[in-house]
Amino acid sequence: MASARASSSLLLFTSSVLLFATLCAATVPYAPGLLESFYNDSCPQAASIVRSYVLKYLTTDSSFAGAFNRLQFHDCWVQGCDGSVLLNSTSTNSAEREAHVNFGLRGLTEVDEIKAALEYACPGVVSCADLLILAARDATFLAGGPWWPVGLGRRDSRVSNDLLADGNLPFPVFPFDILEANFARKDFNAREMVVLSGAHTIGKSHCNGILPHIYNFTGGNNETDTDPTLNPGFAAYLKRNCPFGNRDNSIPIDSTSGKFDNAYYKNVQNGKGVFITDSTLITTTLGSSIVSSFAEGDSTFFQEFADAMVKMGNLGVLTGSQGEIRQKCQFVN
């Protein structure tokens, strides 16, 4: 269980943040079988347990806000929001977490700790899939972003495969048209794509996804071949922190990486997008217009982000008797 100190800190922190938070109503309907009240009787303390642990992790390292957001996206985009990204590989199967696109995935150990606390309080009740949805929402909120209600009642998949992840998730080198097509396959339009890209306002990234932006940009195996649209000073900063061939270093992916705000869009406008998928957002008239709107302080960004996260949380959910409630998120029962 979360410690009394963590619970007390949660109450104090949440109370103070609520005075200034953007509380976004759910304007997107939940998928059939999902209810905000799903655990009201079976595990009424579920949400507060998740939030207390997320607070603990963010207090230690604010970049976990981005890690929890990434986990929801990387789970839901592959066969739906079913907790499959959390499963370990077996002797006969390479799981999603081993996929190329999931290099450097963080927060897995922390999710296991949260799940253990939920199992202690309410054995066999709260799914790993719902845990990820709650953690992403709470991490966003505790980083200064919007709070939104979430529908719950997802069940966990018994299937996880690295090829499914590499075949569904967008790689950080995608240009606008391919990125747009990737989102369209999940029924997300270009505006929603740009909105969800705003999650890059929090967290950090390993250099693995950054290297193609600053070296060998056009594919000629050239160490000096850098995206010409990058701000020269920013490109130099990236190269200092991500030397040629170094996949494992990590850097903040936003100038205010511990705070959920619109600085990401200002950075992209100014040639300071960390990934190719960031810089590509202003290579079309449509994308550039949306980025400019949010960079200038469009007041709808928080609401649109909340709506897109709810919509994402509806993807491919297992409910009722489908799937299972895993006792440990790393293993099928």
Q: What's the pLDDT score for residue 286?
A: 96
Beta bridge partners of 90: 93
Q: Is 254 annotated as a binding residue?
A: yes
86-120, pLDDT tens digit by residue?
Answer: 999 999 999 999 999 999 999 999 999 999 999 99
190-220, pLDDT tens digit by residue?
Answer: 999 999 999 999 999 999 999 999 999 988 7
Distance CA 67, CA 329 (A): 17
pTM of the model: 0.92
Known catalytic residue at 74: yes
Distance CA 326, CA 324 (A): 6
User: CB of 71 within 8 A of CB of 132?
Assistant: yes
**DSSP string for residues in 107-157:** -HHHHHHHHHHHHHHSTTTS-HHHHHHHHHHHHHHHTT--B----B--BB-
291-308, pLDDT tens digit by residue?
Answer: 999 999 888 999 999 999
Distance CA 319, CA 326 (A): 14
Asked whether the predicted pLDDT for residue 7 surpasses 50, the reply is no
Q: Is 170 annotated as a binding residue?
A: yes
Nearest residue to 230 via CA among 201, 272, 200: 272
Q: Is 232 annotated as a binding residue?
A: no
